[in-house]
A and B are shown apart, each in its own frame.
Chain A
């Protein structure tokens, strides 16, 4: 059994004889443990709770908190709360999708970037807010986001050259 499958098994063991109401806590535990919800984990959960995997996927996609791909090396979140929306976070998101070529919840093929939208981060005074690897960036603009993305890329290119 693969390492991740073992971990999922251990998590499921904490929820014996459970029904559907255990689904969300189980998914949360798995995401905490593995950082995302791999296909195989969803299948395991399905077998454990006797639910079709489409149902689990459906529930998981209903809540914004779950991801189905591992995070990229640089994880960018864009706030979609009301204040940020008013200050143009929609444009930011559009721009991010266009430059990074990924949608929210996805990870780029080279695994360098992943994107996520979140609800209000409680920093409305700084709207629109984005985070890069958990660091807050206030009053973000498309240009600023592009700059940050380029920085990340450069850093990596340099690392590669050095090694």
Chain B
């Protein structure tokens, strides 16, 4: 490390590293220098001049945000001259500013206003535009998107939004246009944002120091000093962004991004603007019970819970406890998932407990547990900004994990090479140095061929292979069969590109692989995951900073639901139910005997239900009627049950089939913890009370357990955490008082452990990393004459999962109200399908009508549907073919045909389906 530099600021001696700017040292030393254009995530542009300081010996005042420190510098931040200069900076800004603080939403939360007050500037000293209050020039206010208003009469041209959009989000939707007095921030051709590349993350809104960018939510409902900010965790994806909910008079009036370890102050459109559903009038407020008339009727908690207990007990005594199954929820807290599996295992006495991770990352859990000994993401979100090469496969990161997408963009801008393998030209693929557009389902051929090239050219990390792994010889032999030329035939990617990708990945020092459903949701998902692990081990990219095998988990708490043992084979902390000493630890703690045989997985439960083997199902916060493959079959299964209990916040498609519906509290109404994709356990806090009689899931579970003669006695969710951490080694050191404000990353075995940002640093969880030879196999369903096209499904930015939340968030729904199918423009030409035209998509299992989006951005012969839209549910079409190990269904590939429909009469029917459910990772620490 270079020698420290000593300097003096306002009479205080400080020390810092060379290259630091004056503003940064001052901030470290607790001296605040005002700033309008500088922002910690953005490059310095030094335009606002608010940060002027006096440096002894310098001829003029200097901008503290751009001036690097020099040894012996003497800086004064508040001299007469400095204060005068700052005041005149403000006078110039205010002279051109529409000073309508009286009605401005940002009043009270506006840097310009704060500084004007502090420096006594009012803009009257200088001739300028002098806006009449509230009168802007035409074109200065743009309010036609559902998320935020741009009022350019309040823009001070600091350029934070411009840099945020370009440098962090990678979209560059806005930039400076014109010059001189005419300079403004504009989209290209000054079109509305809705027609630009803007994705409405609103990170520019957060960064804007004035009221020029104002969120629409909460407008006229209270200013910053009138509402309370409750810090919690975004309930959508696995990134785990910290957000504030704005609460006034017991209602949520808005939300905003807040600095957290997983997001560093960034969010996406859902986390920023997507919480309107919490107070939707459709929320369930009373328990419902199906009466003799076949309808659901409101009832009391006692009646509903008594009925659930009685029916479950009857079924248990008649058909055995394995005739009952339970689906836990990746949306609920760790505490609730823990209690759910405890209820199923100790009250019902079955291991039939699973959750939607089965649909997303079961392959990861199974695959990585085998080869590494732990099924979780090996590294952490923000490390990717420091990687040298990033290989993203089967993940549309900018849409499904937008904030990680931003981290990747920052890495790319800092010089990291980006390789993307995806059948679609996603935003990520567009930005990539190299885009490999392979056939859906040909991942293994691609990955093996990359390994082949690396070995052929001697680019492997011999030391790592030698010291840290086993099984290398078999893999070497296997990948020898996959020459780039052969792989080119199987994948459709030119051999030269495969070679280039292999070299790019192997030559850099820090290489990270990021992947998601595109890898896991296949009938050979586990093998796909192993092929990725092979590639990472071959190049020694495990256990070091900014490298790793990084499955991006889909739902906010899918990692936690797995960790909590909501999987049929494992108790909390991936402790095998089949292992006696592990089981008896839980038996002692819970005071009841536990079953040793693994239970049924989610898809198996549905199959058993259809066959009559499973008689009752208890579903907490999941909606298999949209999320699961082959919905028609799911419906058959659910309807065939003797008894179905659904506990949720809305009357979802699944709840509509239930015998008893229990109204649950949303994430904004309870305390608990979520574990994000980087294994970080973070606190969720209650902001408002639940509507009507709705109750937190963990309270419902306690009440139900009491009816099975088990009194758990929990008063607070923190008590559940202390019980579960005592039984779960990887959570051993986790307690609520350690979680504020940055959480803890498991494994965290004891109360002094700082948590683990990077896994497998010294040894693998299983000792040595296991190389596993894997072979290419075609997808379970390949196109033929009748179904000539491959359908792949996924998620899109503006909606989440089955849409039960986002489609009730007014802003999100207004922006993207319908589903669609993306069709390659050549294919569309042959089939006579026009952009926007209704088309019927038909597979062996059913058909749905939706709207065509004709685009060059998808490979010929492949179509894509998002899966959030009930009216055009993609999962009517998808295949239930399972991976033999992980039992994950092949949501990513099935064969379909398209039939154009007449334009009239098919209006408003579109839906989106996308096969990205959640991610699921498990570690298998206890496996033998």
Contacts and interface: CB of A to CB of B under 8 A. Distances in A.
Interface of A: 39, 42, 51-58, 61-62, 68
Given A53-B188, A54-B196, A57-B187, 7 more contacts: A39-B188, A52-B197, A54-B172, A54-B175, A54-B186, A57-B190, A61-B179
Interface in B168-199: 171-179, 186-190, 196-197
Closest 5 CB pairs of A and B: A52-B172, A58-B175, A53-B188, A57-B188, A54-B175
A52 B189 contact: no
A54 B187 contact: yes
Q: Which of A51, A55, A56, A58 has the most CB of B within 10 A?
A: A58
A58 B188 CA distance: 7
Contact of A52 (B171, B177, B178, B190): B171
A contact patch SS: helix
Nearest to B182: A61
- Which of A42, A51, A52, A54 has the largest number of chain B CB atoms within 10 A? A54
B14 interface: no
A67 to B, nearest CB: 12
B185 to A, nearest CB: 9
A98 to B, nearest CB: 15
A120 B563 CA distance: 73
A61 B185 CA distance: 11
Contacts, number: 51
Contacts of B173: 52, 54
24 contacts: A51-B172, A52-B166, A52-B172, A52-B173, A52-B188, A53-B188, A54-B173, A54-B187, A54-B196, A54-B197, A55-B166, A55-B172, A57-B177, A57-B189, A57-B190, A58-B176, A58-B186, A58-B188, A61-B177, A61-B179, A61-B186, A62-B176, A62-B179, A68-B189
A86 B172 CA distance: 40
Contact-size category for B: 10 to 19
Interface in B306-338: none
Contacts of B176: 58, 62
Nearest to A53: B188
A104 B189 CA distance: 15
A54 B166 CA distance: 10
A56 B177 CA distance: 9
Interface of B: 166, 171-179, 186-190, 196-197
Contacts of B177: 54, 57-58, 61-62
Contacts of B172: 51-55
Contacts of B189: 39, 42, 53, 57, 68
A63 B179 CA distance: 8
Nearest to B176: A58
Nearest to B180: A62
A68 to B, nearest CB: 7
A8 to B, nearest CB: 15
Contacts of B190: 57
B178 A62 contact: yes
B719 to A, nearest CB: 52
Contacts of A61: 177-179, 186
Contacts of B188: 39, 42, 52-54, 56-58
Nearest to A42: B188
Contacts of B174: 54
A52 B179 contact: no
A95 B107 CA distance: 39
Nearest to A57: B188
Contacts of B197: 52-54
A55 B186 CA distance: 9
Nearest to B179: A62
A23 to B, nearest CB: 13
A136 to B, nearest CB: 27
Contacts of B178: 61-62
B43 to A, nearest CB: 15
B176 to A, nearest CB: 5
Nearest to B178: A61
A141 to B, nearest CB: 26
A68 B190 CA distance: 11
A55 B163 CA distance: 11
A82 to B, nearest CB: 15
B420 to A, nearest CB: 15
A61 B196 CA distance: 17
Contacts of A58: 175-177, 186, 188
Nearest to B191: A39
A53 B191 CA distance: 11
A61 B176 CA distance: 9
A15 B338 CA distance: 61
A141 B401 CA distance: 61
Contacts of B196: 54
Contacts of A55: 166, 172, 175
A15 B419 CA distance: 25
A54 B177 CA distance: 8
Contacts of A56: 188
Identify which of A42, A52, A56, A68 gathers the most chain B CB atoms within 10 Å of its CB.
A52
Given A52-B175, A52-B197, A57 B186 contact: yes
A4 to B, nearest CB: 16
Nearest to A50: B431
Contact of B175 (A42, A57, A68): A57
Nearest to A51: B172
Contacts of B171: 52
A68 B186 CA distance: 15
A56 B196 CA distance: 13
Contacts of B166: 52, 55
A61 B179 CA distance: 8
B529 to A, nearest CB: 32
Contacts of A53: 172, 188-189, 197
A51 B171 CA distance: 10
A30 B188 CA distance: 17
A56 B166 CA distance: 13
Nearest to A68: B189
B459 to A, nearest CB: 26
A58 B186 CA distance: 8
Residue from the set B187, B189, B197 with the largest chain A CB neighbour count within 10 Å: B189
A83 to B, nearest CB: 19
Nearest to A60: B177
Indicate the member of A39, A55, A61, A68 with the most B CB atoms within 10 Å. A61
A68 B187 CA distance: 14
A52 B197 CA distance: 9
Contacts of B175: 52, 54-55, 57-58
Contacts of A62: 176-179
A35 B846 CA distance: 53
A118 B187 CA distance: 25
B716 to A, nearest CB: 50
Of B177, B187, B197, most A-chain CB atoms within 10 Å: B177
A49 to B, nearest CB: 12
A22 B174 CA distance: 21
Contacts of B179: 61-62
B545 to A, nearest CB: 29
A68 B176 CA distance: 16
A53 B187 CA distance: 8
Contacts of A42: 188-189
Nearest to A62: B179
Residue with the highest number of chain A CB atoms closer than 10 Å, among B186, B188, B197: B188
B787 to A, nearest CB: 32
Contacts of A57: 175, 177, 186-190
A74 to B, nearest CB: 24
Contacts of A51: 172
A39 B176 CA distance: 17
Nearest to A58: B175
Contacts of A68: 189
A61 B184 CA distance: 10
A61 B178 CA distance: 4
A110 B173 CA distance: 31
A58 B166 CA distance: 13
A54 B195 CA distance: 12
